[in-house]
Structures are given as structure tokens and as C-alpha cells.
Amino acid sequence: MRVPASQDMGQRQTMASEPEIEPDEPIVAPLEAVQEKLNFIANNVTDDTLSDNVRKARAILLPEHFRWFATYLIQSRIASEVNYHEVYHKFLLSLNLRALDDAILKASIQLVHNLVRPARKMESKDRSALKNLGTWLARITLAMNRPLLHRHIDLKELLYSGYENGKLGSVLPFVAKVLAGAKNSVVFRPPCPWTMGLLYCLREVYDVPDLKLFLKFEVDMLIKALDVEMQQLKKANLLQTRRQPNASNNPDLKTVPT
């Protein structure tokens, strides 16, 4: 049975330094033989093989290939294998490479932005990937007392843009999964103003007329996990400043009989 990463590595008890996200640079791939070895390591890392696989990865993973490995790990593993998030996180913590950690964060956020861009037609696999990425980002940022900076990803804007474009069904669960990472954080758990501000936004969206029940359920589960009462949450009152969504065939809203 897997043990929580916090038991194995220890949780940071003070605010960690801000993660760095550098401007895009070309992704440099390692030799094919190295790619195959890293793929094998990622495919076989477990609690029992952690130390051995960390040793093997350190021997072949060069700094110039960090972005390639981060992109591979996020797109091919993290986005689809939520049950292995814990062991992948342990693996990265054991490697203890700050530049790789920053590359992992950047690759995660880039994939989120790619999935939620307005022109993209959202599919079931995309919604699943977003939820998994939300869980992952919560683990590597808020739960570790690391900030998820506005300049990297604007969760409020994602939420309200999703409202305008009929994509709450994808975006709201993602935001909720991210915020769930504040549960055991000494920095971000309520009443942290940053966290409360986002909860106020979710509270406002919760009362959107005819909002589908599964979206309300996501909010209900989040505030329960954070040990907050619904009546404690005031509404952000920002929806009035946003474009009203098309109510016809809106996937976020229940169909009301006419």
C-alpha cells in the first residue's frame, strides 16, 4: 500500500520560494536510448523501486533535457494516471532538482492552458485530464505551501471565462481540485485571503440559475474538505461584469422544460 508523500518526505511548514517559470525555450530531447530508459523508469517506479529508479534517473537525466522529461511526464503520465501522482511526486522530491521542479510546473500549466483555450472543443478525455492536472497542481503547489501565481495561471479568470463560454463543466472541477490542496497547508487553508477569494467566486457561480447538479456537488465537496460552511461564504458579485452565456444548449445548465 502506498504511503502519503508527506509521511515519506515531510511537509514544508513555511512558505516556499516562488516557483520560477522562464520564457519558452526550444525543447531539447535526449538520445533515443536515453528516452527509452527514462520511459522505462517512469513506467516502473513504485514505492519499492523508488530509490533504485531515482539513482538511475540521476545518472542519465541532464539539465538540458529537463523540459523534455517534464513535458513527457505531464502529458503522458500525470494527465492520465491520477492513481500514480503520489509515487511520481515522491520520485521528483527524491531527485531534488529545483530546475526540474520548475519545468514540471511549467509543463503542467502549459497543458492546462492548452486544454481550456476558447477555440478548443472540450472532449471527455480533456475534462478528465483537467481534473487530474488540478489534483497534481494542488499536490505540488498549495499542499507544499508553494504559491500558484496569478501571472502563471489566473484561476478566477478561468472560472469566469468558463461561465461565459459554457465550459464550467471542465473548468470548475479543475479549480476545485486545485483549491483542495489548501486543506492541509499551513499557508493556504482558510481563512487565507487568496483561498477565500476563490471560494467567494465559486459561491457566486454555485447560485447560477439552473446550474447542473454535478457542478454544485464539486463546490459542496470542496467546502466540506476545507471545513468551511456555505453560509460563511459571501458572493464575489463579479458575474454582473461578465458576458452572459448563451442559455440555449448550454452544457453547464439543466434543460428547463418549456
Asked if residue 104 belongs to a domain, the reply is yes
Residues 186 and 112 both lie in one domain: no
Are residue 167 and residue 77 in the same domain, yes or no? no
In a domain, 9, yes or no: no
Tell me whether residue 240 is in a domain: yes
Instruction: Note whether residue 141 is domain-resident.
Output: no
Looking at the structure, tell me whether residues 161 and 67 fall in a common domain.
no
Residues 237 and 192 in one domain: yes
> Is the domain of 218 the same as that of 168?
yes
Are 39 and 104 found together in one domain?
yes
Q: 235 and 154 in one domain?
A: yes
- Each residue's pLDDT tens digit in the chain (258 positions)? 333 333 333 333 333 444 444 556 788 999 999 999 999 999 999 999 999 999 999 999 999 999 999 999 999 999 999 999 999 999 999 999 999 999 999 999 999 999 998 788 888 999 999 999 999 999 999 999 999 998 899 999 999 999 999 999 999 999 999 999 999 899 999 999 999 999 999 999 999 999 999 999 999 999 999 999 999 899 999 999 999 998 888 999 987 554
Boundary (domain end) residue, out of 116, 135, 160: 116
**CATH at 87:** 1.25.40.180
Count up the domains in the chain and report the number.
2
Q: Is residue 1 part of a domain?
A: no
Instruction: Based on the fold, state whether residues 167 and 111 are members of the same structural domain.
Output: no
Q: Are residues 231 and 165 in the same domain?
A: yes
- Domain contains 89: yes
Q: Which domain holds residue 168?
A: 150-253
| 3-class DSSP string for the chain | CCCCHHHHHCCCCCCCCCCCCCCCCCCCCCCHHHHHHHHHHHHHCCCCCHHHHHHHHHHHCCHHHHHHHHHHHHHHHHCCCHHHHHHHHHHHHHHCCHHHHHHHHHHHHHHHHHHHCCCCCCCHHHHHHHHHHHHHHHHHCHHHCCCCCCCCCCHHHHHHHHHHCCCHHHHHHHHHHHHHHHCCCCCCCCCCHHHHHHHHHHHHHHCCCCECHHHHHHHHHHHHHCCCCHHHCCCCCCHHHCCCCCCCCCCCECCCCC
Do 112 and 154 lie in one domain? The reply is no
The model carries a pTM of 0.88
Position 156 in a domain:
yes
pLDDT of residue 234: 93
100 and 169 share one domain: no
